[in-house]
Structure 1
Amino acid sequence: MNNMLFDYDDNDIKSIYSYAKKLESRTFRDIKKEFDDSGLTYYLNPRDSKPVHIVKESKTGYTSNSKAKGQLGGFLERYYFGYQPNSHQGADFEKVGIELKQTCIDLTKKGEYRAGERLSITNISYKEPVVEDFYASHVWEKIKKILLVHYLRDKSKDRMDYQIKFVNLFTPPQKDLDIIIQDYKKINDKIKQGKAHELSESDTLYLGACTKGSTAIKSMQPQYYGEHILAKKRNFCFKQSYMNYVLKNYILTNNVPYESIIHDASSLGKMTFEEYIIHRIEKYVGKTDKELCEMFEREYNNNEAQWSHLAYLMLGIKGNHAEEFEKAGIVVKAIRIEKNNTIKENMSIPPFKFKELVQETWENSTLFNYFDTTRFLFVIYKSDGDCYKLIGSQLWNMPYNDLNKVVKAGWENIKQSLLNGVRFTLKQINNGVRVENSLPKKKDNPILHIRPHAQKSAYLLKDGTQIGDLSNANELPDGQWMTTQSFWINNTYLYTQLNVLKKSR
Structure 2
Amino acid sequence: MAVTDDRKFTKAQIYDILENAKGKTLGEVDKSRQFDRTKESEKITGIAGDVIEQSVFGYERDSDQECDIEIDGVLTELKTTGVRIPKGDLKSVKGKTGDAYNVYLAAKEGISITGVTFEPTIQTDFNTSHFWEKSEHLLIVFYEYKSYEVVPASGYSQFPIVDYCYNSFSDEEKAKLQNDWELVRDHLQKVYEEYPDTAMRNEQLVGFTHVLRPNLLLIELVPGFKRKATGSYQKPRYRLKKTFVDYIVRGHFDKSRTQNEIVLKDSFSSFAQLDARCHALSLQYKGKTIAELKEMLGITTSTKDMAAICVIRMFGTDCKKLNQISDFAKVGIIAKTITITPQGGRTEDMKLKHIDFEEWADREADFEDSDVYDYFCEHSFLCPIFCEHDSNDQSKTTFEGFKRFAFDDDFIENEVRRTWEDSRKLIHTNKLEWEYLYDKQGNKRINNSGACMGAPNFPKSSDYKVFFRGGADVSTDKSRTECVNGIRMLPQFFWLKGSYIADKLQKIPYI
Maintained 8 Å contact 2:114/2:131: yes
Check if 1:93 corresponds to 2:69.
Answer: yes
Distance across 2 between alignment mates of 1:494 and 1:231: 35
| Deviation digits for residues 39-83 of structure 1 (CA, Å, limit 9, x no counterpart) | xxxxxxxxxxxxxxxx33553449974662x32222232233332
What TM-score results when the alignment is normalised by the length of structure 1? 0.75
Give the deviation of 1:231 after TM superposition: 6.8
Maintained 8 Å contact 1:357/1:365: no
Check if 1:416 corresponds to 2:425.
Answer: yes
With over 3 angstroms needed to count, the CA separation of the structure-2 counterparts of 1:199 and 1:129, relative to structure 1, is farther
Give the deviation of 1:473 after TM superposition: 6.6
Give the deviation of 1:254 after TM superposition: 3.2
Which structure: greater helix fraction?
Answer: 2
Structure 1 counterpart of 2:278, one-letter code = I
In the other structure, the counterpart of 1:105 is 83
Which runs of 5 or more residues in structure 1 are unaligned? 1-7, 36-54, 223-228, 458-467
Maintained 8 Å contact 1:201/1:209: yes
Check if 1:381 corresponds to 2:386.
Answer: yes
| Deviation digits for residues 338-397 of structure 1 (CA, Å, limit 9, x no counterpart) | 133203311121343678646464334443232122222111111234332111113321
| Deviation digits for residues 395-441 of structure 1 (CA, Å, limit 9, x no counterpart) | 32101111112331243234434543437364325998375876554
In the other structure, the counterpart of 1:152 is 144
| Deviation digits for residues 106-160 of structure 1 (CA, Å, limit 9, x no counterpart) | 2452332222221110112457668332112111010112122222332399533
Maintained 8 Å contact 2:472/2:479: no
With over 3 angstroms needed to count, the CA separation of the structure-2 counterparts of 1:296 and 1:80, relative to structure 1, is same
Structure 2 counterpart of 1:101, one-letter code = K
Aligned to 2:337, the other structure's residue is in SS state: strand
In the other structure, the counterpart of 1:142 is 134
Distance across 2 between alignment mates of 1:421 and 1:436: 11
In the other structure, the counterpart of 1:237 is 239
Distance across 2 between alignment mates of 1:357 and 1:394: 34
With over 3 angstroms needed to count, the CA separation of the structure-2 counterparts of 1:206 and 1:247, relative to structure 1, is same
With over 3 angstroms needed to count, the CA separation of the structure-2 counterparts of 1:296 and 1:76, relative to structure 1, is same
Give the deviation of 1:165 after TM superposition: 3.0
In the other structure, the counterpart of 1:31 is 29
In the other structure, the counterpart of 1:186 is 183
Give the deviation of 1:176 after TM superposition: 0.7
Where does 1:41-56 land on structure 2 (aligned, <5 Å)?
A: 55-56=32-33
Aligned to 1:120, the other structure's residue is in SS state: strand
Distance across 2 between alignment mates of 1:152 and 1:436: 33
Maintained 8 Å contact 1:378/1:394: yes
Maintained 8 Å contact 1:168/1:251: no
Give the deviation of 1:86 after TM superposition: 0.9
Give the deviation of 1:480 after TM superposition: 3.9
Aligned to 1:428, the other structure's residue is in SS state: coil
With over 3 angstroms needed to count, the CA separation of the structure-2 counterparts of 1:299 and 1:470, relative to structure 1, is farther
Aligned to 1:325, the other structure's residue is in SS state: helix
Maintained 8 Å contact 2:466/2:497: yes
Maintained 8 Å contact 2:27/2:35: no
Structure 1 counterpart of 2:238, one-letter code = F
Maintained 8 Å contact 2:347/2:501: no
In the other structure, the counterpart of 2:468 is 450
Aligned to 2:286, the other structure's residue is in SS state: coil
Maintained 8 Å contact 1:146/1:171: yes
In the other structure, the counterpart of 1:120 is 112
Structure 2 counterpart of 1:248, one-letter code = R
Higher relative contact order (CA 8 A, sep 6+): 2
| Deviation digits for residues 187-210 of structure 1 (CA, Å, limit 9, x no counterpart) | 445555634252576642222223
Distance across 1 between alignment mates of 2:357 and 2:275: 39
Structure 2 counterpart of 1:100, one-letter code = L
Maintained 8 Å contact 2:177/2:219: yes
Aligned to 1:404, the other structure's residue is in SS state: helix
In the other structure, the counterpart of 2:219 is 207
Check if 1:343 corresponds to 2:320.
Answer: no
Structure 2 counterpart of 1:394, one-letter code = K
Structure 2 counterpart of 1:412, one-letter code = E
Aligned to 2:479, the other structure's residue is in SS state: helix
Where does 1:287-366 land on structure 2 (aligned, <5 Å)?
A: 287-298=288-299, 301=302, 303=304, 305-319=305-319, 320=321, 321-352=324-355, 357=360, 359=362, 361-366=366-371
Distance across 2 between alignment mates of 1:451 and 1:252: 32
Aligned to 1:290, the other structure's residue is in SS state: helix
Aligned to 1:82, the other structure's residue is in SS state: coil
Which runs of 5 or more residues in structure 2 are unaligned? 93-100, 149-153, 192-204, 446-452
In the other structure, the counterpart of 1:285 is 286
With over 3 angstroms needed to count, the CA separation of the structure-2 counterparts of 1:480 and 1:104, relative to structure 1, is closer
In the other structure, the counterpart of 1:471 is 479
Give the deviation of 1:330 after TM superposition: 1.8
In the other structure, the counterpart of 2:250 is 248
State the aligned residue count.
Answer: 446
Aligned to 1:427, the other structure's residue is in SS state: coil
Maintained 8 Å contact 1:473/1:481: yes
Check if 1:393 corresponds to 2:402.
Answer: yes
| Deviation digits for residues 460-479 of structure 1 (CA, Å, limit 9, x no counterpart) | xxxxxxxx5352474453x4
Aligned to 2:327, the other structure's residue is in SS state: helix
Distance across 2 between alignment mates of 1:172 and 1:355: 32
Distance across 1 between alignment mates of 2:182 and 2:53: 31
What TM-score results when the alignment is normalised by the length of structure 2? 0.74
Give the deviation of 1:299 after TM superposition: 5.4
With over 3 angstroms needed to count, the CA separation of the structure-2 counterparts of 1:417 and 1:127, relative to structure 1, is farther
Distance across 2 between alignment mates of 1:161 and 1:411: 29
Distance across 2 between alignment mates of 1:142 and 1:59: 30
Distance across 2 between alignment mates of 1:288 and 1:71: 57
Aligned to 1:411, the other structure's residue is in SS state: helix
